[in-house]
Amino acid sequence: MFIKQEEDFFPNLNILLPEIYKIPIYTNEEYKKLTDNPSEWPGKRSAPFHESNMLLNYIIMDLFERKNLINNQTDYKVFNCLHLRTQESNDWIHQDSDNLAALIYLNKTNLNSGTKMYNPEGQMINDIKYVQNRCIMFDAKYYHSGYGHFGTDIYNGRLTINCFFKKN
């Protein structure tokens, strides 16, 4: 199993977080009207950072390379976005279609939330807790599920930056 975990991903999250909170987020239906992406997902997402927030996209990609989470970002097509899940959100065990996936947990630590990894038989094999400013990167083909969604809005909910890497 390929999982990397990096604590304190952003050197100054306290400076970035107020700017991150300003990023517009959309329901799945609103998102489909803005893009040609037909995928289904719960909660709310922002537009991809490479289209809507080039500075944040650059900061994230620079940190992935500096922290040796990826070797050469030019090897990948990358999709980064903000994702909010609140207490009424549901989740499911799923795989992503990309090669690698990463989550960066943004809001205050909630040890009743996180991401579970499963083997193909559906047995949980890892439980990574929602710790503020923790980044987890994993093989996107591993079955996984978020859990313990919390809060009511962008300021107190389960807020993550989701990153998907597809080999060129």
Q: Is 80 exceeded by the pLDDT of residue 58?
A: yes
Q: Is 90 exceeded by the pLDDT of residue 102?
A: yes
Return all residues near 156 (Cβ < 8 A) that are at least 6 apart: 107, 108, 150
Per the structure, the complete domain to which residue 26 belongs is given by: 3-167
How does DSSP assign 79-108, residue by residue?
EEEEEEE-TT-----B--SSSEEEEEE-SS
pTM of the model: 0.95
Q: Is 70 exceeded by the pLDDT of residue 82?
A: yes
Categorize the per-residue pLDDT at 88 as very low, low, confident or very high, splitting at 50, 70 and 90: confident
Pairing verdict, β 143-147 and 158-167: unpaired
Q: How far apart are CA 55 and CA 49, in angstroms?
A: 8
Strand-pair partners of 167: 76
Q: How many domains does the chain have?
A: 1
From residue 53, give the alpha-carbon distance in Å to each of 32, 50, 158, 167. Answer: 19, 6, 21, 22
Question: CATH no. for residue 160?
Answer: 2.60.120.620
Instruction: Quick: pLDDT tens for 16-43.
Output: 999 999 999 999 889 888 877 767 788 9
Instruction: Quick: pLDDT tens for 126-152.
Output: 999 999 999 999 999 999 999 999 999
Q: What is the pLDDT of residue 20?
A: 97
Q: What is the pLDDT of residue 95?
A: 93
Q: How far apart are CA 59 and CA 64, in angstroms?
A: 9
Q: What is the pLDDT of residue 2?
A: 80
Categorize the per-residue pLDDT at 106 as very low, low, confident or very high, splitting at 50, 70 and 90: very high
